[in-house]
Amino acid sequence: MTAQPCPRVHARECRAADGCVLCAGCVAQAERDLRALPALHQECLHHASPTPRRSNPTKVSGSRARDHLNFSVLDARYRLLNALQSWSEYVAAHHRVAVPGRSVVQLARFLAGHLPWLVAQPCAAEFADEVEGLAAELRGTIDPGAGELRTAIRTCVVEHCAGTISTSLNGGERVRAGRLECSLGHGWDMGEWLALRHLLEQRRAGAGA
């Protein structure tokens, strides 16, 4: 039986992996995102408020620190927890098990453990899209300038390469070192980003023609 196309957006068509609705690259990305979420959730909390000013150490009576909170960070953390809870309840209802707690760590671990089942369901693309979007949103609160890079590229532009380009997890270290790499090892200097993006857009236009 011929594998169906992966329903998620790709620069070129990818076939679903055996027993899955998604392609192997999307399954791997969903797993990486799930495993990254707890650390991202914790890290972005440090960006919820700016570093206190040292020029005026005297606290003014009646001042309210909450006026300086970055509410977008708090909202992102809240959306993440709600989404993980909702997906965990969906999995738990099918398998007739209890949701293991309410923390991001517990919920992300629970979903990662049931990922092989999730990626075989009709809602697999919706799940992968939401998890990727949540991870990108949290990364954006930590490093706002890199948001465009993370969301603009998904599939490697090298001909016949099934790898994906990501700045998550270990990829983040490579980006800080001035490199962008796909999951199968193709790499570019960050200065080549504009040419890389142009190539991707050309291929997308060709695929849609």
Q: Per-10-residue mean pLDDT for the chain, 209 residues long? A: 80 86 92 93 74 47 48 84 96 95 94 96 94 90 58 63 59 47 72 60 61
User: What confidence score (pLDDT) does residue 206 get?
Assistant: 65
Q: Is the CB of residue 29 less than 8 Å from the CB of residue 164?
A: yes
Cβ-count burial 49-80 (b if 16+ within 10 Å, e if not): eeeeeeeeeeeeeeeeeeeeeeeebeebbeeb
- CA pair distance 106, 36, nearest whole angstrom: 13
In 3-state terms, what secondary structure has residue 180?
strand
- CA pair distance 8, 52, nearest whole angstrom: 43
Q: Can you spell out the DSSP letters for 19-36?
A: T-SS-HHHHHHHHHHHHH
Separation in Å, CA 72 to CA 5, 29, 45, 50, 82:
36, 25, 11, 13, 15
In 3-state terms, what secondary structure has residue 7?
coil
- CA pair distance 54, 52, nearest whole angstrom: 6
Q: Can you spell out the DSSP letters for 182-205?
A: BTTS-EEEGGGHHHHHHHHHHHHH
In 3-state terms, what secondary structure has residue 123?
coil
Q: DSSP letter for 50, please.
A: P
Q: Is the CB of residue 6 less than 8 Å from the CB of residue 14?
A: yes
Domain regions of the chain by residue span = 24-49+70-208
Q: Which residue reads 């007739």 in tokens?
A: 96
**Burial (CB count within 10 angstroms: exposed 0-12, middle 13-18, buried 19+), residue 23:** buried
User: What confidence score (pLDDT) does residue 205 get?
Assistant: 65
